[in-house]
Chains A and B, each alone.
Chain A
Amino acid sequence: MQALHFDIAHMIDALVLMMGFGLLYQRRLRSVLRTFAFQATALAAAAAWQAYIQEAPHLYATAAIALFFKAIAVPMALNWLVQRLGIHRAVETALGVGPSMMIGVVLVALSILLVLPVTENATALTRESLALAMSVVLLGLLMMITRRNAVTQVVGFMALENGLILAAVGAKGMPLVVEISIAFSVLVAMILFGIFFFRIRERFDSLDLHYLEFYRGERQ
């Protein structure tokens, strides 16, 4: 029974990771936001499942926070922003979908190589979930690097934070206060990003951050 519990936990973790790859695969802003909502839902499921197998009721609160804020509120707010700014056309990528997915696989391999020596004494089960969570973090980072559009960069940031929560719920004894404060700081960040979107747009008539480079004199 124990083994089955852990297997299901890993399946849900792997689903979160797959959604991370889904974010890299999608080109349209709308699809990116939808995939992000799926990822947050999978994260909520992972937290709820951990709450059940660890018998830690406070993780249900984490799951609820993930579900309400990250799977519903943030995608809705971003959708509204995209609608408002009228940018629901194709995402511009600095790097093509194929190469960025390949780098993604390399990052997964890297996170596994990192996790293996660190967790020599841990069981294979902890090791697998840590490796999965770390990969999600790195994929979020990759998304922030490879995308030019400010909205997709924010989605990358949120995906990175999903990976952090995933690592936290897998570890035993993570206090709820920490998780709540992370969740709320992300919300605050989200509001700040929203204001910045409007400011950037006012200044450059576009959300393509590529224009910032001209402004800073990095490119002529």
Chain B
Amino acid sequence: MTSFVLQVVQTLLCIALAPLVTGLVRFVKSRLQGRRGPSLLQPYRDLYRLLQKEAIVADSASWLFRFAPYVTFAAVWLAAAMVPSFSTEMLLTPAADLIALVALLGLARFFTALAGMDVGTSFGGIGASREMMIASLAEPAMLMMTFTLSLLAGSTAPAIIGGFVVGGGVGLEVSLALALAAVVMVAIAETGRIPVDNPATHLELTMVHEAMVLEYSGRHLALMEAAGMLRLLLYMSLIACIFAPWGVAQPGAGLGGLALGFVAYCGKVAAMAVALAWFESMIAKMRVFRVADFLGGALLLAVLATIFLYVSEAV
């Protein structure tokens, strides 16, 4: 029963928190750039406004175009709800394994790319092809990282890996640091943050994700944007759960433990949002063709992480 209640809380929490995290990143970024910036609540207002508006669909669009936002949003929401955030005692925790998460995100990406191509505009096609190129490079890196962690902790479930790390099963392992670097690089590429894609631009030469959702409006666009925000929160929760699992409430924790877990989770996500904003302000966007080198670097780090497991005899 507890696990069911906690799961519902978690599911609602991630949808409630995701726009706030995006708002925080934008706020810190504008402060770093010397602007006052929009309020933290602006993403909520944007989503509300979009939901009020009429959805316009192009003449050439098929049923797929209307169907894709719901699938994308549902898949990302489910994936975000599966990652344990403040407690590991949840209904979906046993099902939450990294490979399932990759698959759910892949499903969302597949439908977004199809919808981008469905209308037949050239921007949609460019965006879809770029997105698929990035995905084909990011997924091997993510799976290699999963492989390293499963060799180390004996499981691909984030909750169990986190428990292993916090329980002192490993010290400061070089492999873990390399895996963290790899997953951060993959997360930057997958969530379309600055060196790979710029979430704030509509410049046709550089946009990736924005190009695919260019034809959407109204509630469809609101769902696509919400899915993007959820994806950012999902990667932050995943990194917090695996690499910084301190303070997460273990099964059987009381109300105090849960409150502590919640505060720790909010702190970790806020810290990551500030770090992301700082990083994005420091760096320039790279050319699309350099993305292959960037994600190749992530794959390489993940491979090195596996290699070093054998040297340190942690296996």
Report the Cα distance A105→B177, complex, angstroms. 17
Report the Cα distance A10→B303, complex, angstroms. 18
Q: At the interface, yes or no: B173 with Cβ under 8 Å from chain A?
A: yes
Q: At the interface, yes or no: B307 with Cβ under 8 Å from chain A?
A: yes
Given contacts A7-B173, A124-B311, A127-B311, contact A108 B293 (CB under 8 A): no
The one of A3, A8, A14 in contact with B178, judged by C-beta atoms closer than 8 angstroms, is A14
Among B173, B181, B311, max chain A CB count under 10 A is at: B311
Q: At the interface, yes or no: B174 with Cβ under 8 Å from chain A?
A: yes
Report the Cα distance A126→B307, complex, angstroms. 16
CB atoms of A101 and B307 under 8 A apart:
no
Q: At the interface, yes or no: B279 with Cβ under 8 Å from chain A?
A: no
Report the tally of A-B residue pairs with Cβ distances under 8 A. 57
Given contacts A14-B178, A109-B307, A112-B310, contact A98 B172 (CB under 8 A): no
CB atoms of A11 and B172 under 8 A apart:
yes
Report the Cα distance A7→B171, complex, angstroms. 7
B256-315 residues with Cβ-Cβ distance < 8 A to A are: 292-293, 296-297, 300-301, 303-304, 307-308, 310-313
Q: At the interface, yes or no: A4 with Cβ under 8 Å from chain B?
A: yes
Given contacts A14-B177, A14-B178, A102-B300, contact A97 B293 (CB under 8 A): yes
Q: What B residues does A128 contact at CB under 8 A? A: 174, 308, 311-312
CB atoms of B300 and A10 under 8 A apart:
no
Q: What A residues does B177 contact at CB under 8 A? A: 11, 14
Report the Cα distance A98→B300, complex, angstroms. 10
Q: What A residues does B297 contact at CB under 8 A? A: 21, 25, 101
Instruction: Bits for A6-17, please: 1 = Cβ < 8 Å to B, else 0.
Output: 011011011000
CB atoms of A98 and B296 under 8 A apart:
yes
The one of B174, B304, B313 in contact with A11, judged by C-beta atoms closer than 8 angstroms, is B174
Query: Chain B: which residue is nearest A22 at the CB level?
Result: B297
Q: What A residues does B310 contact at CB under 8 A? A: 112
B224-240 residues with Cβ-Cβ distance < 8 A to A are: none
A10 CB, min distance to chain B CBs, angstroms: 5
CB atoms of B292 and A98 under 8 A apart:
yes
Query: Chain B: which residue is nearest A124 at the CB level?
Result: B313
- Interface secondary structure of B, over-half rule: helix
Q: What A residues does B301 contact at CB under 8 A? A: 18
Q: What B residues does A108 contact at CB under 8 A? A: 304, 307
Instruction: Bits for A101-113, please: 1 = Cβ < 8 Å to B, else 0.
Output: 1101100110010
CB atoms of A116 and B171 under 8 A apart:
no
CB atoms of B304 and A105 under 8 A apart:
yes
The one of B300, B312, B313 in contact with A105, judged by C-beta atoms closer than 8 angstroms, is B300
Q: What B residues does A8 contact at CB under 8 A? A: 172
B141 CB, min distance to chain A CBs, angstroms: 13
CB atoms of A131 and B293 under 8 A apart:
no
A76 CB, min distance to chain B CBs, angstroms: 23
Report the Cα distance A105→B181, complex, angstroms. 16
Report the Cα distance A104→B303, complex, angstroms. 11
The one of B173, B300, B307 in contact with A21, judged by C-beta atoms closer than 8 angstroms, is B300
The one of A10, A97, A105, A115 in contact with B174, judged by C-beta atoms closer than 8 angstroms, is A10
B255 CB, min distance to chain A CBs, angstroms: 34
Report the Cα distance A8→B171, complex, angstroms. 10
CB atoms of B172 and A104 under 8 A apart:
no
CB atoms of B171 and A101 under 8 A apart:
no
Q: What A residues does B172 contact at CB under 8 A? A: 4, 7-8, 10-11
B241 CB, min distance to chain A CBs, angstroms: 22
Report the Cα distance A3→B171, complex, angstroms. 8
A55-107 residues with Cβ-Cβ distance < 8 A to B are: 97-98, 101-102, 104-105
The one of A3, A25, A116 in contact with B293, judged by C-beta atoms closer than 8 angstroms, is A25
Report the Cα distance A101→B297, complex, angstroms. 8
B173-225 residues with Cβ-Cβ distance < 8 A to A are: 173-174, 177-178, 181
B148 CB, min distance to chain A CBs, angstroms: 14
Q: What B residues does A4 contact at CB under 8 A? A: 171-172
CB atoms of B296 and A101 under 8 A apart:
yes
A34 CB, min distance to chain B CBs, angstroms: 13
Q: What A residues does B181 contact at CB under 8 A? A: 18
- What are the 6 closest A-B residue pairs judged by CB atoms, nearest first? A7-B172, A7-B171, A14-B174, A124-B313, A97-B293, A128-B311
List residues of B whose CB falls within 8 A of some A CB: 171-174, 177-178, 181, 292-293, 296-297, 300-301, 303-304, 307-308, 310-313
Q: List 7 A-B contacts (CB under 8 A).
A: A10-B172, A10-B312, A11-B174, A13-B174, A25-B293, A97-B296, A124-B312
Known: A10-B312, A25-B297, A97-B293. 11 other contacts (CB 8 A): A14-B174, A14-B177, A25-B293, A97-B296, A98-B296, A104-B300, A105-B300, A105-B304, A105-B307, A108-B307, A109-B307
